Structure formats: structure tokens, C-alpha cells
Amino acid sequence: MRKDYNLSKRRYVIGGFLCLIVAIYIIRLFSLQVSDDKYKENADSNAFLRKIIYPARGLVYDRNGRLVVFNQPAYDVMLIPRDVKDFDTTALCDALEMTKEQLAEKWIDMKNPRKNPGYSTYTPQKLISHLSQEDYGRLQEKLYMFPGFFIQKRMVRQYAYNAAANVLGNIREVSGADVERDRYYRSGDYTGDLGVEKSYEKALRGKKGVEILMKDAHGRIKGKYENGIHDEAPVSGRNLTLSLDIELQKYGEQLMQNKIGAIVAIEPATGEVLALVTSPNYDPSLLVGKERGKNYKALVADKYKPLYDRAIQGAYPPGSTFKPTQGLIFLQEGIINLKTMYPCYHGYINGLRVGCHGHGSPLSLLPALQTSCNAFFCWGFKNMIDKRGTKVAEQFEKWKTYLVQMGYGYKLGIDLPGESRGFLPNAEYYSKSFRGPRWSANSVISVSIGQGEVLATPLQIANLGATIANRGFFYTPHVVKAVADTVIDAKYREKHQPKIKKEYYDDVAQGMRMAVLGGTCRAANLPGIEVCGKTGTAQNPHGKDHSVFMGFAPYHNPKIAIAVFVENAGFGATFGVPIGSLMMEKYLTGTISAARKGLEERMLNSNTILTSGVTKH
């Protein structure tokens, strides 16, 4: 009898099919009962309400212990959609002082999965946020009329000072991407947005607690489950101590009113940022409460860009504040010594016109820093880049390496989001621009005086001041001094030392002291305080030149290094130097002397936006 092989094969196929179905059922049951929380939530929601208890967000203090940011209670109207029964919409609208149309719009937004990615009929959903105390009181009295509704208490930010909004940041409601990225969050939660609120979010947010409440068959709360033994208490966020002096910060913002630009002040010995001013700025309380969305849109639409932190994001030509770096490089490379003299005859260098201003000629490094001679630094750059027996590209890369060591061309790593790296061209950049390697120092001479393609942030310029103040090293600038009782991250205690001898920093510091005593920075001279400085008038192809200042004080054992950048304000001595000197005097003495009150008034009341001749877009 012949064996039926087809029947045998069919048995195997049918058997395998049945095994596959059984396996699918087992996997699905495992998914429903063990892996997938959705059905567990659905079952639990019939009998329990897991009410999230939000922790108090960490407080923020300045370096002197002044409270800067604290919390105040806010209330959200929450509901579990499947527990909501027919209710009196008129009564609810009356309690919340809103129209039925507004309530309907809120309801639609809540159910919209695009606007509310975590929507589920079984879990708590937020209907209305930031109830006022009055609304909360009226609704609380009538809450029994609205089955499925409850009030969620949370904390929102309050500000003790109308200052430092760019440093502090704010908090916003989480997005779908935030929820996917971090399982701590659920729809309706808040997270840090900009400033230290963002960069220190995990420290500030704390840990949420939970309260498990029992519900009856009608969805009404009957009390705590098993007397609350399964509840979890929230853990408050950790407090931050900023390196900022909030009074100095506020003073800097006042000086920069009606101006566009930035001020950065650093304590050289630690890298702690004492003030980080951007202008125009805004009141941090604008981004709290019901009007946050409306106010945020207005700030985004503002043509002067108050949300743009010019102190760390603005990339500008550093102008003559760049010249100290050139003196350091030329000394280290042996291109010059303190007796080397270059001519400044009408600003011509081998037939190339370099604009300058009236002063003695020829001159050496220290008087060149004192008078801010353009030609001196152009000659030094030419003699380094075009040095006989070397290749231009190799010399240029060596020049750039020194600048990178000094903190230019890359992010310094400040503990705030959004820092710009500025820009330093390399040899390849110019080889592409000039379509080949046949370029020389004369082709790019403007970079030696902080013009051309070189761009730097005010933070980088202030950091150079701190490096010279320290005579050859710096710490990564940072705005947080401590998190709770823990000192800052080790990377902010690491010393960075450019490969330039300390004695050359002494020389450059002396030249900057001469600039204050009898050069371009005379307005920075303070009685009893030895100030060192360097002006900058950064050329601007879009309008009036920018006014820049970089300096530090005192000359010995420096306590503050500073950079001031005022857009479209003309010469560095016009606005950069006065503002910088007032900031240093305020920090070092706590006041402004009577003899300088007139200068202070002029800076406080001046308006460079109106006089810039530039329409901002």
C-alpha cells in the first residue's frame, strides 16, 4: 500500500498552525496582564484614583543668599473622562467665570491627541490650568456637583526680582517628545525651558508622590485606600545657589536699558559668572500663569528679540579687544619682544591700507595696546604668517591653535543651553575662499585686529579678560555655584592653561593698565582701584559700529573681569568703557562715587537704539 505523503504534510501544517495560534494567545495574554499597564489602569480606575502629588520645585538663591525664585500654589481642573456624568455646564462656567464656548474649546483641546498625546478616558486629564485663588474657592464649594472632576494642586514659579530672565529661564508644559524621552513625565506636567530651569531640570524638579483614593460606584471619592499606607510622599527639588550677584545683574540691566547688547562679568579666581546681561530683556513673570502662551508669542514676535541671549549666543567681531591675544601669540612665538617696534605711517603695510588713528610711530607692544594701534598688530600677524621658511597654512593653523586654547572658536561650556561657538576660520576655509593655497597674511590681515571672519561671544571676550587677570589660566564660566549642599561639577573646577608663558600675560596686563591711565580706556579709571582695560570699536557692515570693552580689576589680585558689547553705539570709549567701569565700581565698592554720578545718569538715560541709524528686523 502506497503511503500518502500529502496527508502527512497536511498534518504537520495544521499542527504548526494550531501551535502558532496558541503561542499568539499566550503572548497576547502576557502582554495584557503583565507588560501593558493600560488594562490594569482601566481596572484600577474603576475603584481607585491615583492622585499625583507634585513636589515643590527647588528654590533659587544668588551668591549672597538672596532668594531669587520661589514657588506659589496653583490649581488645575482635572477629570477622568469615563467618570464624568451629565453635569450643569452653566454652574461650572459660572464657577470658573468663563463662557460655554470657552469651556467647549478647552474640552476639545483636552481630547485632541495632537495637543494632548497622553489622552485616555481612564486616566486623569487636565481641563484647565492655573486657576486663580478666587476661581479655586468658588469651584471647591461646588465640586460635588461635577462627578469625575477634581482639583490638582501644583507649584508655579514666582520671582523676587525683575531681572536675569535669560539666566533663570522658565517652566512650560511638557510636549509629547518630552514624555517619550523621559518616563518621569506625563501629559500635563511641567519642565524647565531655557536657563538654569532647563539645564538643572533633574535637580530642581524633585520626585512626584502619589495618593491613592477609593471611589464608589458613582465615581465619588470615599477616602484614602487602607488609610494611606500605600501613598508615597513627594520629594522636593534641590535648591540652587547661583554665582550671580542679583543686585549687580539688576544694575547691569538698568545700564543696558534702551540699548542692544550684553554684559558678562566673571570672578577670575573661580570662573563664577557674576552678571550675565542681555538687552533687551524681559520680566520673567511674563512666562507664568494663564497668559504665558500669549506673552511668549509676543516675545518671539518682538523685532528686538528679547528671548535671544546675546551674552552667550551673540557672535560679534571682537574688534580691538582681540589685540591682547595677538600680543600674547607674537611674544610666545618670538615674533616680537617688548622692544620690537613697528611703524604706523598712515596705516600702510606693504602697500595695504590699514585704518588707524593719530598716535606716535613707530611704537612697541605696550604703547600699541595703550593706543590700540591697528598697524602694530597687523605687522606682527604678517611677520608670523608669512615667516620665511614656513608655509602660510601651517603658520595660520598654529595661530588658530593658540586662540582655541584661549577659549575662542568653540563653546566654552557654560551651564546654560544655547551657547554659540563664535567663529574662527582655519587655513582650509581660506584655501577654499581663494580657490587655492596662494594666499598670504595680507589676504586676511583684518583678522589680526578682530575683524574679518573672526566672531566671538561676549562670554568669550570676558573669559579672555579673566585669563589675563589670572596671568595665564581660566576656569570654565558657570552660573550655578552649588546644587543644594553639593559643590559644582568637577569640570568647572578644572584649570585651563593656554601654552603661553605667564610673563607675557604680565606684559599684556601692563599694557592694558596703561590704556586706562593714559590711553583709550581713560573713562575706566577709578579712584583707589587699579583697572586694566581694552577698548574695541567693532566695524559693522549693517550700520553704526559696535562699542566694546574688555577689562578687569584690580590689577593685582583681580576680583572681576568684564566684557561689554553695545550694538551700533560707536567707539568703545563712548559706551563700552563707561558701562564696564560702572559695573566694576558697583561690584567692588557697592556704590557709585559722587564724582561719577553724572556718568551713571548718562548711561542709564541714553538710548542707542534711537541713535543707531539701523532699523532692526
**The cell 568647572 sits on which residue?**
492
Apex 160 CA angle, 156 and 166, nearest 5 = 80
Q: Copy the grid coordinates of residue 21.
A: 495560534
Cα-Cα-Cα-Cα dihedral of 72, 73, 74, 79, to 10°? 160
Rounded CA separation 390/134 (Å): 78
**Partners of 67 in the beta sheet?**
61
Residues 256 and 195 in one domain: no
Question: How would residue 21 be classed by pLDDT, with cut points 50, 70 and 90?
Answer: confident
Asked if 71 contacts 57 with a C-beta cutoff of 8 angstroms, the reply is yes
Residue 26 lies in a domain: no
Report yes or no: 181 and 192 within 8 Å, Cβ to Cβ.
no
One domain for residues 182 and 264: no
> How does residue 79 score in pLDDT terms, banded at 50, 70 and 90?
confident
CB distance 134 to 102 below 8 Å: no
In a domain? residue 38: no
Domain assignment present for residue 524? The answer is yes
Domain annotation covers residue 3: no
Domain boundary among 221, 242, 263: 242
Q: Is residue 289 part of a domain?
A: no
Model confidence over 557-579: pLDDT tens digits? Answer: 999 999 999 998 777 778 999 99
- Specify the number of domains making up the chain: 2
| Contacting residues for 346 by C-beta, under 8 A, at least 6 apart | 356
- Check whether residue 227 and residue 341 sit in a common domain: no
Asked if 122 and 82 count as a contact pair (C-beta separation under 8 A), the reply is yes
Q: Average pLDDT for residues 290-306, to the nearest whole number?
A: 91
| Closest C-alpha to 560, from 330, 243, 332 | 243
Section 77-102 average pLDDT = 87
Q: What is the pLDDT of residues 323-352, one digit of tens each?
A: 999 999 999 999 999 999 998 865 556 666
Higher pLDDT, 148 or 16: 148
pLDDT tens per residue, range 538-548: 777 666 888 99
pLDDT over threshold 80, residue 462: yes
What's the pLDDT score for residue 574?
Answer: 85
Distance CA 15, CA 18 (A): 5
For residue 582, tell me if it sits in a domain: yes
| Residue 549 placed within a domain | yes
Q: Are residues 352 and 253 in the same domain?
A: yes
CATH number, domain at 312? 3.40.710.10
Residue type, 86: D
pLDDT reading at 115 higher than 90: no
Judge if 222 and 260 occupy the same domain: no
| pTM to 2 decimal places | 0.86
Q: Position of cell 461646588? A: 142
The range of the structural domain enclosing residue 53 comes to 49-242
Residues 349 and 402 in one domain: yes
Band of residue 41 on the pLDDT scale cut at 50, 70, 90: very low
Q: How far apart are CA 317 and CA 408, in angstroms?
A: 12
Residues 531 and 581 in one domain: yes
**How many helices and strands in the chain, by DSSP H and E?**
22, 21
From residue 302, give the alpha-carbon distance in Å to each of 294, 299, 307: 13, 5, 9
Separation between Cα atoms, residue 460 and residue 410, nearest integer Å: 9
Burial class (CB in 10 A: 0-12, 13-18, 19+), 5: exposed
- Amino acid at the residue 291: E
Spell out the SS3 assignment of 146-186.
CCCEEEEEEEEEEECCCCCHHHHCEEEECCHHHHHHCCCCC
380-389 confidence digits (pLDDT tens): 999 999 998 8
Task: Indicate if 367 and 236 belong to the same structural domain.
Answer: no
Provide the pLDDT for residue 124: 84
Q: Residue 95: is its pLDDT beyond 80?
A: yes
> Residue 217: what pLDDT?
61
- Asked whether residue 349 is domain-assigned, the answer is yes
My answer on whether 411 and 487 are in the same domain is yes
Strand, coil or helix: what is 187?
coil
- Together in a domain, 163 and 260: no
From the CB of residue 506, how many other CB atoms can be counted at a distance below 10 Å? 12
Which residue, 227, 242, 257, sits at the end of a domain?
242
DSSP class of residue 489 equals: P
> Cell match 508615597: residue?
232
Show which of 242, 260, 292 is a domain's final residue.
242
Are 218 and 323 part of one and the same domain?
Answer: no
Choice between 558 and 152, residue whose per-residue pLDDT is larger: 558
At 231, list the grid cell. Answer: 501613598
CA angle 287, 288, 292 (to 5 degrees): 55
Look at residue 125 and tell me whether its pLDDT is greater than 60. Answer: yes
CATH number at residue 93: 3.90.1310.10
Residues 238 and 312 in one domain: no
Residue 616 has pLDDT above 60, yes or no: no
CB burial of 585-596 (b: ≥16 within 10 Å; e: otherwise) equals bbbbeeebeeeb
Q: Residues 533-548, buried b or exposed e (16+ Cβ, 10 A)?
A: bbbbbbebeeeebbbb
Task: List pLDDT tens digits, range 165-192.
Answer: 999 999 998 888 888 898 898 878 889 9
Question: pLDDT tens across 491-520, in order?
Answer: 899 999 999 999 999 999 999 999 999 998
